[in-house]
């Protein structure tokens, strides 16, 4: 799995550091130290760009890669202990880099767990620097999430390998929104609301070989929604009811569509109430209550649009005219619930102002 994420070559020879310094290795130490105590990453980059010898170039390149991506440290420097494995470029691929990356990253995970599980409050509240390839675990976690029909029509991930070349910042932002566990009362933000999918559907199936389709297939029409497995939205079976509620089935009748939209709106109304309750415990959001409300309204609009689009594709694919295009009743229903959301927000804001005034009056009363 490490190789699938990073895309690095790896052999079978274990990486075991030796205390004995080879003369050939010691001879290049001063080039990277450059008269300083620690070899800066910028110095390794400078040597890499100026080098014309193959072995020396790859050696410097690997030091930079190890110090920034593969096994980064907590300081802005490269680790010269890797030089003993980088002196000959043809031998680099023989070492088991993936196991080494995994062992180093797990050591940091154990370090973090020992801190948060410590009985000493002082240790738990201290700041620590963590190193090595910890983002790798976040990418693996995303790849195993089951992004069912609620989200795949509005947003889909590209599951190409190596994973580090295809996962974007927007993907992380999306996952933090849809996978947060709003029912948790933990001190920190808690995730894990979405279920996991079978490993055969992930890029790690069959020893790191990804799915047959990593992105939108060639036969997909412009604007057509395709899920990560490469199926058209009309071929996707309804997802089972889970943490986010039941998933309505699109493409039947206008009355049925209105009922389905009501299910979607009701679920987002409940999610908004839960989010507001959570913010009362953890503190106000960075953008205020209005930001929380606008974000929820945006997610609601995205899901309704996805539902409408999939229903339109279903009606066209079946070869008959359905009543799905009669949107008068669903639109009225949607507007009614949007007004309800605004009314709820207005009541909450008024209650907040009321209790704030009561608090100020009580403080002034006791001061007198």
pLDDT at 94: 95
Residues with Cβ within 8 Å of 45's Cβ and at least 6 positions away in sequence, in order, are 60, 64
Residues with Cβ within 8 Å of 289's Cβ and at least 6 positions away in sequence, in order, are 276, 279, 345, 348, 349
pLDDT at 51: 76
More confident: 204 or 365? 204
pLDDT at 314: 46
As a whole number of Å, the CA-based R_g of the chain is 27
Count H helices and E strands in the chain, helices first: 13, 0
pLDDT at 248: 43
Q: What is the DSSP letter of 187?
A: S
Q: What are phi and psi of 191, to 5 degrees?
A: -120, 175
pLDDT at 107: 93
Torsion sign across C-alpha atoms 51, 54, 56, 59: positive
pLDDT at 67: 94
More confident: 236 or 313? 313
Averaged pLDDT of the chain: 74
Q: Residue 250 has which token pair?
A: 């699109």
DSSP class per residue in 133-162: STHHHHHHHHHHB---HHHHTT------SS
Whether 230 has a pLDDT exceeding 50, the answer reads: no
Which residues on adjacent β-strands are paired with residue 284? none
pLDDT at 147: 80
More confident: 225 or 265? 265
Checking 237-246 for CB contacts under 8 A at 24+ apart, the result is 238/149, 239/148, 239/149, 239/150, 242/148, 242/194, 242/195, 243/181, 243/193, 243/194, 243/195, 244/150, 244/178, 244/193, 244/271, 245/270
45 to 31, 67, 168: CA distances (angstroms):
12, 11, 25
Lowest mean pLDDT, pick from 20-24, 87-91, 93-97, 234-238: 234-238
Asked whether 163 and 171 are in contact (CB, 8 A), the reply is no
pLDDT, average across residues 203-229: 44
Angle formed at CA 223 by CA 218 and CA 227, multiple of 5 degrees:
65
In the chain, where the domains are located? 7-103, 134-244, 248-368
pLDDT at 156: 74
The per-residue pLDDT for range 235-285, each reduced to its tens digit, is 333 333 333 333 344 444 455 566 677 777 777 777 777 666 665 555 555
Residues with Cβ within 8 Å of 85's Cβ and at least 6 positions away in sequence, in order, are 15, 91, 92, 95
The per-residue pLDDT for range 117-167, each reduced to its tens digit, is 888 888 888 888 889 999 999 999 999 998 865 554 567 788 889 999 999
**Coil vs helix vs strand at 317:** helix
Kindly state the helix (H) or strand (E) to which residue 363 belongs, with its residue range.
helix 328-367
Residues with Cβ within 8 Å of 49's Cβ and at least 6 positions away in sequence, in order, are none
pLDDT at 240: 33
More confident: 288 or 61? 61
From 7, 13, 8, 15, select the one nearest 94 (Cα to Cα): 13
The per-residue pLDDT for range 159-189, each reduced to its tens digit, is 889 999 999 998 998 888 888 887 766 667 7
Cβ neighbours around 315 below 10 Å, total = 19
Q: Residue 155 has which token pair?
A: 């947003």
Alpha-carbon distance of 225 to 153, in angstroms, equals 5
pLDDT, average across residues 313-323: 42
């Amino acid at each position: 799995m490490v190789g699938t994420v990073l895309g690095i070559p790896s052999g079978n020879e274990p990486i075991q550091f030796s205390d004995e310094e080879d003369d050939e290795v010691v001879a290049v130490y001063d080039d990277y130290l450059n008269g300083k105590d620690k070899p800066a990453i910028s110095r390794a980059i400078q040597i890499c760009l100026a080098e014309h010898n193959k072995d020396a170039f790859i050696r410097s390149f690997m030091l930079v890669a190890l110090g920034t991506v593969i096994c980064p440290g907590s300081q802005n420097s490269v680790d010269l202990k890797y030089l003993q494995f980088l002196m000959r470029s043809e031998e680099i691929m023989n070492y088991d880099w993936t196991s080494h990356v995994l062992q180093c990253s797990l050591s940091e995970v154990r370090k973090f767990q020992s801190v948060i599980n410590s009985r000493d409050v002082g240790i738990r509240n201290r700041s620590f620097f963590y190193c090595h390839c910890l983002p790798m675990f976040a990418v693996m976690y995303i790849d195993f999430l089951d992004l069912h029909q609620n989200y795949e029509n509005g947003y889909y991930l590209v599951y190409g390998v190596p994973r580090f070349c295809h996962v974007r910042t927007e993907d992380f932002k999306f996952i933090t929104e849809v996978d947060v566990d709003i029912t948790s009362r933990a001190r920190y933000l808690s995730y894990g609301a979405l279920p996991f999918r079978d490993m055969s559907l992930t890029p790690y199936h069959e020893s790191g070989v990804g799915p047959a389709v990593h992105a939108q297939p060639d036969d997909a029409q412009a604007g057509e929604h395709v899920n990560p497995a490469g199926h058209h939205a009309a071929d996707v079976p309804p997802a089972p009811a889970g943490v986010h509620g039941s998933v309505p089935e699109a493409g039947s009748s206008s009355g049925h569509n209105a009922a389905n939209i009501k299910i979607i709106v009701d679920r987002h109304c409940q999610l908004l109430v839960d989010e507001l309750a959570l913010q009362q415990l953890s503190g106000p959001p960075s953008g205020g209550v209005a930001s929380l409300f606008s974000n929820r309204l945006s997610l609601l609009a995205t899901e309704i649009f996805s539902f409408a689009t999939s229903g339109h594709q279903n009606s066209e694919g079946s070869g008959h005219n359905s009543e799905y295009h009669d949107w008068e009743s669903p639109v009225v229903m949607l507007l009614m619930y949007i007004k309800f959301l605004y009314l709820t927000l207005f009541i909450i804001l008024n209650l907040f102002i009321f209790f704030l005034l009561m608090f100020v009056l009580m403080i002034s009363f006791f001061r007198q």
